[in-house]
Amino acid sequence: MTAPRTVEVLLPVAFDRALTYAVPDGLEVAPGDVVVAPLGTRPTVGVVWDGGGAEVEGARLKALLGKVAASGLSASMRGFVDWVAAYTLAPRGQVLRMAMRGLAADEGPREPRMGLKATGKAPGRRTPARDKALAAAANGETWSKKQLAESAGVSASVLDGLVADGALALSPLPPPPPPPRPDPHLPGPELSPEQASAAAALRAAVAARSFSVTLLDGVTGSGKTEVYCEAVAEALAQGRQALVMAPEIALTVPFLDRFAKRFGARPAVWHASVGEKGREAVRRGVADGSIQAVVAARSGLFLPFRDLALVVVDEEHDAAYKQEDGVSYNARDMAVVRGRIEGAAIVLASATPSLETRINAERGRYGRLALPARFGGRTMPEIKAIDMRRAGPVKGEWLAPALVSAVTQTLAAGEQALLFLNRRGYAPLTLCRRCGHRMKCPHCAAWLVEHRFRASLVCHHCGYTAHSPKTCPACAAEDSLVACGPGVERIRDEAVARFPDARVAILSSDLIGAGERLRAELDAIERGAVDIVVGTQMVTKGHHFPGLTLVGAIDADFALGAADPRAAERTFQMLQQVTGRAGRGERPGRALIQTHEPDHPVIRALAANDREGFYRAEAIAREAAMMPPFGRLAAIVVSAPTRELAEAHGRALARSAPKQETVRVLGPAEAPLAMVRGRHRMRLLVQAPRAVDVPAYLRSWLAAAPPARGGVRVAVDVDPQSFM
Ligand SMILES: Nc1ncnc2c1ncn2[C@@H]1O[C@H](COP(=O)(O)OP(=O)(O)OP(=O)(O)O)[C@@H](O)[C@H]1O
Ligand SMILES: [Zn+2]
């Protein structure tokens, strides 16, 4: 007897290794095929991986259960999965799981949907409802049951009766027409000379059919979208595919309409709120090439494109590109990796590029195209700081007098104002006036945030929600709980109270979501049906509201990210983005920033409109501290049910760190967010020069480290973005 043929199969579970299976006689499989394999006793869908295929002696070898008629993973996709896993230290199976999203169990030809058709036979019994149904069906077409019932104004049971009677018969419905395809040959807008030359460079990058990375560095309102749409047009015209990524689902919404205006049809959409059926359709369409353009949140990077020509990473600086749970990867960086593997052009677009990307461009690793001025001769907003120490509001209010009078003037001129505060809910802290008790999350080292619209207290880390209590849970005093500090809901209340005639809208992800509600709100603002917009960071980027001329930033918030080496950069980016919403239409804009540190270099750079100066100073500071992009960082978070366990394991880890001259291991120290979901957290930080292969260092470290026991978990984060 000959030994069985075998293959390696990677399964979408937390295994790093592919498992070896026997291939039953009569089954032909190749790397990339989707197969069903037994995992323990459970049939599991996985992907045939590279390697293996040898003849192995093994009576106990399990056999594949079958093959699935679904588009598999190309060699480049498999290479991408391997690469991401190796870099992030995530098990390969966990990365594979992301690449299998939307995979239907069977993509084979579908059974046609059945509808109803008149047979011409008279029913045995006539009623007015039956007559109506037959009259509607008399046109001879096949109707869906629902449509026929609606059109005739009868219930579904009437139709069932007619089928039983032979007057209606089941009949296959014609397949739905394919969605319209975007047309790359529609004329785009007329571009300014700067835009035109940037667009030509991007078109050339796509036409080159090879890997390249280009930073599209253009100030807010410079028309970056119009420019990168030309690169999309080039990809479409070649019959190839383009992926446009946005850091948040909410930002995909306005892009859909802009894309449709440019190309006559909407792109496919891919993100967490798309339902299972929709995802299956997108996955199938990108795999067979019938879908050419996709707009997606970060997970779209793992779609199995057949012929990917272009990836645009819009707002490339955005921290939301970093996934923090499961596989910790930065979709911006992994887009570059995918581009290298696929030979695709990568465009990183931003008005406030990350220092990482700026330095890559300066050192010639990336190309750089600049749009230094706004489109149409519009000017950048004038930015001023309001010193909250001297010119702040009275206690209990949050809008400084100078901001109030600016809003008043803006409204009087028939223009719109935006009040920005990066804090959801009504108040970040609720405390008892009598005993000083603070309302805390029972599972996290965090305060509960009051959400007054929902009458509840919510933990922003674990989602724990409680009704706002009437009495203090500690001292039982009645009506003693007070809200401290503002969230957007509170700013909205103040705006409504101060400007009773103004139409005030609030935009916050927890209130609006990313669906039709959001679209309706954005439309209303664009049309001028809203006077004051109050919003979280959801409103800071990407949006274009022509009537908006004043932006008020309620709190410049530097202290928040004290442990974060990117705190200054992030604050600069956020304020530059939000102030960049002002004055994009006919009239010039201005912005007021409420701050307790008006002399902070970030505020000074903003007020002086000195972007370059800020980046230069920031680069010097980061280089001196050997912080990214001049050095490398990785974080290891140890969590455990008790602090002692977490600390002990953190110490043991630190002791087992391989000695390498240039690599520093800091900690363990208690994480700024010391407990989440009941787990105590300690952090270690690895700092190394750029030349060090940090993932390799971590791998050899963790392989030799004492195993985590007793509920201890170790999470590795290469290139951390969050320092909580
Ligand atoms: N060549 C053009 N012709 C007509 N309108 C244009 C042109 N370029 C840009 N615009 C318009 O100018 C506005 C700003 O452009 P866009 O939103 O692309 O800027 P942006 O650079 O992406 O800004 P931000 O970074 O602030 O999001 C949009 O309404 C856009 O349609
Ligand atoms: Zn919590």
Question: Which residue, judged by its Cα, is nearest atom 23 of ligand 1?
Answer: 221
| Residue from 194, 220, 225 whose mutation best tests the ligand 1 pocket (most atoms within 8 A of CB) | 225
- Which ligand gives the minimal distance to the CA of 439? 2
- Cα 225 to middle of ligand 1, angstroms: 6
Give the distance (Å) from ligand 2 centre to CA of residue 11. 33
From 195, 226, 548, mutation site for ligand 1 pocket: most ligand atoms within 8 A of C-beta: 226
The ligand whose atoms approach the alpha carbon of 679 most closely is 2
Question: How much is the pLDDT for 638?
Answer: 97
pLDDT score of 480 more than 90: yes
Mean pLDDT confidence for 492-499: 97
416 DSSP β-pair partners: 548
* Least distant ligand from the CA of 199: 1
DSSP string, 224-252: HHHHHHHHHHHHHHTT-EEEEE-SSHHHH
**pLDDT above 90: residue 323:** yes
pLDDT at 109 over 60: no
pLDDT at 282 over 70: yes
How many Cβ atoms from other residues are within 10 Å of residue 674's Cβ?
17
Structure tokens at 269: 């959409």
The domains of the chain, with CATH numbers, are: 6-99 (3.40.1440.60), 117-170 (no CATH), 193-373 (3.40.50.300), 378-423+487-620 (3.40.50.300), 425-485 (no CATH), 631-718 (3.30.70.600)
Distance 488 CA to ligand 2 centre (A): 20
3-state secondary structure labels for all residues of 417-486: EEEECCCCCCECEEEECCCCCECECCCCCCECEEEHHHCEEECCCCCCEEECCCECCCCCCECCEEEECC
d(CA 46, CA 33): 8
Give, using CA atoms, the residue closest to atom 7 of ligand 1: 223
The reported pLDDT for the residue numbered 169 is 87
Q: Please check whether residue 133 is in contact with residue 158, taking contact to mean a CB–CB distance below 8 angstroms.
A: yes
- Could you tell me where the DSSP H helices lie in 238-330? 249-263, 276-288
pLDDT band at 505 (very low <50, low <70, confident <90, very high): very high
Q: Which ligand neighbours the alpha carbon of 449 most closely?
A: 2
What is the whole-number distance in angstroms between the Cα of residue 316 and the centre of ligand 1? 17
Q: What is the pLDDT of residue 54?
A: 62
Closest CA to 403 of 421, 386, 381, 423: 386
Q: What pLDDT score does 354 carry?
A: 97
**Pairwise CA distance, residues 73 & 81, whole Å:** 10
Residues with C-beta less than 6 Å from any ligand 1 atom: 189-192, 195, 218, 220-226, 351, 375, 542, 544, 580, 584
Mean pLDDT of the chain: 92
Task: Compare 375 and 4 and report the one with higher pLDDT.
Answer: 375
Structure tokens at 24: 């039953």
How large is the ipTM? Answer: 0.97
Residue nearest to atom 11 of ligand 1 (CA): 223
Q: How many CA atoms lie within 13 A of 407 on its CB side?
A: 28
Q: Is 229 annotated as a binding residue?
A: no
CA distance 178 to 175: 9
Give the E-state strand segments of 338-410 in sequence order.
Answer: 345-350, 367-371, 382-387
pLDDT at 59 exceeding the cut of 70: no
Taking the centre of ligand 2 as the mean of its atom positions, its distance from the CA of residue 466, in whole angstroms, is 11
**Quick check: 559 pLDDT over 60?**
no
Q: Is residue 183 pLDDT above 90, yes or no?
A: yes
3-state SS, residue 296: strand
Instruction: Give the residue, out of 375, 538, 551, 575, with the most ligand 1 atoms within 8 A of its beta carbon, to mutate for a pocket test.
Output: 375
DSSP assignment, residue 564? -
Q: Which residue has the least CA distance to atom 26 on ligand 1?
A: 220
Residue 303: its pLDDT value, please? 97
475 labeled part of a ligand binding site? yes
Nearest Cα residue to atom 27 of ligand 1: 542
User: Cα of 586 to ligand 1 centre, how many Å?
Assistant: 13
Strands (E), 75-211: 114-118, 168-172
**Residues 448, 458: contact at Cβ < 8 Å?**
yes
Cα angle at 144 between 141 and 150, to 5 degrees? 100
pLDDT of residue 213: 98
Among the residue ranges 63-77, 180-194, 503-517, the one predicted with the least confidence is: 503-517
Does 543 have pLDDT greater than 70?
yes
CA 724 to centroid of ligand 2, rounded, Å: 14
- The residue whose C-alpha atom lies closest to atom 6 belonging to ligand 1 is 223
d(CA 412, CA 629): 47
Residue type, 518: L
- Cα of first residue to Cα of last residue in the chain, in angstroms, is 60
The answer to whether residue 209 scores a pLDDT higher than 60 is yes
pLDDT one-digit tens code per residue, 451-475: 998 899 999 999 999 999 999 999 9
| Atom 16 of ligand 1, nearest CA residue | 223
Query: CA 151, 156, 158 angle in degrees (round to 5)?
Result: 95
Q: Which residue has the tokens 């366990």?
A: 645
Residues 252-281, mean pLDDT to the nearest whole number: 91
> Cα 599 from chain centroid?
34
Residue 13's pLDDT is 94
Asked if residue 496 has pLDDT above 80, the reply is: yes
| CA pair distance 643, 631, nearest whole angstrom | 31
Distance 269 CA to ligand 1 centre (A): 22
* Closest CA to ligand 1's atom 29: 544
d(CA 526, CA 523): 5
Which residues neighbour 9 within 8 Å (Cβ) at sequence distance 6 or greater?
18, 19, 20, 21, 35, 37, 46, 47, 48, 49, 64
Q: Known binder of ligand: residue 459?
A: yes
Q: Is the pLDDT of residue 108 over 60?
A: no
Helix or strand holding residue 716 (H, E): strand 713-718
Q: Distance between CA atoms of 395 and 100, rounded to whole angstroms?
A: 54
Ligand closest to 352 (CA) is 1
Distance 506 CA to ligand 2 centre (A): 25
DSSP 67-93: E-SS----HHHHHHHHHHHHHHT--HH
Q: Which residues of 339-361 are buried (b: 16+ CB within 10 A; e: fewer)?
A: bbbbebbbbbbbbbbbbbbbbbb
CA distance 153 to 494: 50
Q: Provide the greatest CA pair distance for the chain.
A: 93
Dump pLDDT digits (tens) for 587-646.
999 999 999 999 999 999 999 999 999 999 999 999 999 999 999 999 999 999 999 999
Q: Is the pLDDT confidence value at 675 over 60? A: yes
CA-closest residue to ligand 1 atom 12 = 223
The residue-averaged pLDDT of 482-507 equals: 95
Q: What is the DSSP string of 178-195?
A: PPPPP-TTS--PPPPHHH
Look at residue 678 and give its three-state secondary structure: coil
Reading the block at residue 210, the tokens are 């090879």
